[in-house]
Amino acid sequence: MSTGGAHPDAVWHRALAALLVLVAAWGTVWALLTPAFRSPDEQTHLNSVLRLAYGGGWPAPGEAFVAPVIEAAEREAGWPGDLPGRRTPRPGVPQFVDLQPSVRAERTRIDASNALPALPPGPGAVVDQMSQHPPAWYALGAAVLHATGLVDARWDQALLALRLLDVALLVGTMPFAVAAARRLTGSWPAALVAAPFPLFVPEIGNILGSANNDALVVLACGVVTWLSVRVVTGDTRWRTTVALGLVLGVGLLAKVMPAFAVPGVIAAYALAPWGRPGIRSTRVRTTWWPTTWWPRLARLATAGVLAVAAGGWWWVRNVLTTGAVQPVGRPRDVSGLTPVPADQWFPVSLRRVAQSFWGHLSWLEVWMPWRLVQVASVLLAVIGLVALVRRGARRGAFVLALLPTALTAGVIFNAWQGWSQTQRLVALHGRYVYGAIAALAALVAVGLWQAVGRRERRARVVLPVATALALAAGVVGLVWAFGAFYRGAGESLADAAARWAGWSPVGPTALVVVVGAAAAAGLAALGVVAHAALRRRRPELEPVLPEGPA
């Protein structure tokens, strides 16, 4: 079928755009669906953004405090009432469904008198532990509030703006996942499978549809993932090295998690075919001594120096001044937690990370069924294993797999350190692995490409099927969360919808419009993808694709 002189990739660019709109629409619904402060530490994330927005600076860990506007916002948000989907209701804590929503127009507005805490802090002042992190995301959030004129709006409007900022950062990550997958497969339909990956994980919607500093980490690690894939497939140019170091450093100004991308960067240079820089080649033999040893080390050293200069200095300074990579912002009392026996700490840790990766909504209180978590985890592992063991893109798949593996191991090791002192397990949350969203999405795309025998025709069938499954999973996750957040026992859907509208920062008409637009975006994306993947082509024009690096 003739393309009428259009660029041969134009149809795939339209499909990618449609899938990105779908991810944006899905994330926006999550941003409106999740009740205020129903993701970990959202209150203090908002508090720290407002502190920067109003010139309060970035105090040392333990010396930042919660402002009066946050205390008022918690009351007006029904915090900490138990959600109807909570696994175990707490004695003496009010039920969220029994609380009367605050009047939207009367919610507290932010201003200079309430955006900063009293100094010195009075008795009972609550510590804002977020100053244990670098301020990059918070400064970005403050800039967004100033740019949108919401710096002196109602607190719920400012919170929604920060949530949408995180959705935008997530959407911005997915093109890098697609680009990495296409670099490894040479196939547009195979690569586009990566784009709707977030829809399969309800917890991603809950976390990255809320206000927190994880989203900037997700984007930075997504860019590093793409650049690492370029390196392992032969792009050993100095400008790629410089970009790797700078992006990694910027990510380190958000959180320490991008440091776990370093093993993947090292592996990329170690496994890269050393031919003509920038040219992807499957025929270049990797030689080790002495032809390529010094160039690899030189590039790694350059990337490392740039990463430290751009952002890693924050963590070096922490070690030199406090003796810890990340100082404790607010000590946690773990005496009320149940001790974990020595023979159980690892399986319990693994289970908690898996559970909270897929679906542990709010403050780890609404649980996805464990059987579903097991099935999803096994499927993800099997697809990744296929990408790793089959010839054609094994080096690239190995580089992709290192980031989620390193992040998971880091989370569990950190929990073990705490357990070794207290016999309690804390800080186990799958959201810490979300820096690997792009890597996981690309790994899934490569695994499915390998599973269909690297056949373009078969990949064209897989793409619309995967998109339809992602769309269905996204809808099911939202429906589950809607009930868990707003629907009490024996209540109708109408009762739950009215409660959602009552607590929302926008009115019921806006909610209907957003949900309707999201549904339209989903159907449109499915249609555009199906048209791109299944359009008729003459057999003689079917491309013969390279296998890619082994």
The Cα-based distances of 436 to 74, 174, 323, 387, 407 in angstroms read 32, 11, 28, 16, 8
Q: Can you give the pLDDT at residue 335?
A: 77
Q: Can you give the pLDDT at residue 341?
A: 94
- Average pLDDT value for residue range 293-308: 94
- Average pLDDT value for residue range 361-388: 97
Distance between CA 425 and CA 539 in Å, rounded?
58
Q: Can you give the pLDDT at residue 136?
A: 98
Distance between CA 302 and CA 314 in Å, rounded?
18
pLDDT tens-digit map of 213-268? 999 999 999 999 999 999 999 999 999 999 999 999 999 999 999 999 999 999 99
Q: Mean pLDDT, the chain, as a whole number?
A: 92
Tokens at 250, concatenated: 């910027």
Residue 64 pLDDT exceeds 90: yes
Beta strands in 263-356 (DSSP E): none
Per-residue pLDDT band at 6 (split at 50, 70, 90)? low
Residue 287 pLDDT exceeds 60: no
Q: Can you give the pLDDT at residue 149?
A: 98
pLDDT tens-digit map of 157-174? 999 999 999 999 999 999
* Contact (Cβ atoms closer than 8 angstroms) between residue 53 and residue 115: yes
Q: Which residues contact 454 (CB under 8 A, 6 or more apart)?
A: 185, 187, 392, 545, 547
Q: Can you give the pLDDT at residue 538?
A: 43
- Average pLDDT value for residue range 94-111: 97
Distance between CA 228 and CA 389 in Å, rounded?
20
- Average pLDDT value for residue range 62-75: 97
In this predicted structure, which of 219-228, 289-298, 509-518 has the lowest mean pLDDT?
289-298
Residue closest to 48 by CA, chosen among 159, 185, 153, 149: 159
Residue 278 pLDDT exceeds 50: no
Pick 127 or 290 by higher pLDDT: 127
Distance between CA 521 and CA 467 in Å, rounded?
12
Q: Can you give the pLDDT at residue 336?
A: 80
CA geometry: angle at 83 spanning 82 and 86, to 5°? 90
The CB-side HSE value for 337 (13 A sphere, CA atoms) comes to 14
Per-residue pLDDT band at 280 (split at 50, 70, 90)? very low
Q: Which residues contact 17 (CB under 8 A, 6 or more apart)?
A: none
Contacts 24+ apart (CB under 8 A), 376-381: 376/200, 380/440, 380/444
Residue reference for tokens 């694709």: 545
Distance between CA 162 and CA 143 in Å, rounded?
10
* Contact (Cβ atoms closer than 8 angstroms) between residue 488 and residue 97: yes
Residue closest to 363 by CA, chosen among 27, 159, 79, 64: 79
Distance between CA 314 and CA 320 in Å, rounded?
10
pLDDT tens-digit map of 357-366? 999 999 999 9
Phi/psi region, residue 463 (left: phi>0; alpha: psi -120 to 50; beta: rest), is alpha
Residue reference for tokens 């799958």: 430
Q: Can you give the pLDDT at residue 527?
A: 97
Q: Can you give the pLDDT at residue 314?
A: 97
Residue 499 pLDDT exceeds 80: yes
Phi/psi region, residue 326 (left: phi>0; alpha: psi -120 to 50; beta: rest), is beta
Maximum separation of any 2 CA atoms in the chain, in Å = 78
Q: Can you give the pLDDT at residue 490?
A: 94
Residue closest to 439 by CA, chosen among 411, 405, 477: 405
pLDDT tens-digit map of 469-479? 999 999 999 99
Q: Using a pLDDT cut of 70, give the percent of the chain over it.
A: 93
Tokens at 149, concatenated: 């004129």
Q: Can you give the pLDDT at residue 546?
A: 37
Residue 288 pLDDT exceeds 60: no
In this predicted structure, which of 107-111, 343-347, 471-475 has the lowest mean pLDDT?
343-347
Beta strands in 498-541 (DSSP E): none
Choose from 224-233, 278-287, 417-426 the range with maximum mean pLDDT. Answer: 224-233
